[in-house]
Amino acid sequence: MVNPVLKTFLEENNVDYRIVPHRESHSALKDAQAAHISGHHVAKTVMVDVDGNLCMCVLPATHLIDFLILKNELGAEECRLVGEMRFQNAFEGVVEVGAMSPFGNIHHMPVYVSRSLVQDGRIAFNAGSHREMVEMSYWDFDRLVSPKLLNFSHQREELRAA
């Protein structure tokens, strides 16, 4: 089930989107495969602690975060991955832990997007469930979230050779 808070937000802002059902998965790359969508279009949301503040980093499913680059891009003292226990109650309306959408603005947190996600103009992402994704225009996402675009990710090594 799509997060009802997000669904209402998209509809109130006249966003054209579609719901893409797929078999249950707990990995953005496997979600992409299950939904038959390129991993370059699937946005994974990674929760990061930046100098004590909870933030969202959004990047293609085919990429990994380079925390040293992220730290330097943000001018931060510390950037580290956050475990689910730290953020499990931070998302109103999220149905399943770890299936949060990249709409951090709805939850009053900064959103940082990897520039590599912007290339194709469309994104798909979990939106409250490990069995459904929302697909929409990247530009609608950008208009509604106003994320900060940074260069903090690189393609996963095992996918470079493929």
Rounded-to-integer distance, Cα 153 and Cα 66, Å: 5
- Residue tagged 């943000």 (tokens): 74
The encoded tokens of residue 45 equal: 């949301």
Q: What is the pLDDT of residues 6-58, one digit of tens each?
A: 899 999 999 999 998 877 766 666 666 666 666 677 889 999 999 999 999 99
Q: Which residues pair with 57 in a beta bridge?
A: 46, 112
Per the CB < 8 A criterion, the answer to whether 47 and 56 are in contact is yes
Q: Which of 67, 61, 70 is nearest to 116 (CA)?
A: 61
Tell me if the domain spanning 4-154 has CATH number 3.90.960.10.
yes
Q: What is the residue extent of each domain of the chain? A: 4-154
Q: What is the pLDDT of residues 97-152, one digit of tens each?
A: 778 889 989 888 999 999 988 877 889 998 888 888 899 999 999 999 999 999 99
Rounded-to-integer distance, Cα 136 and Cα 64, Å: 22
The encoded tokens of residue 128 equal: 């409250």
Rounded-to-integer distance, Cα 13 and Cα 25, Å: 29
From the CA atom positions of the chain, what is the Rg in Å? Answer: 15
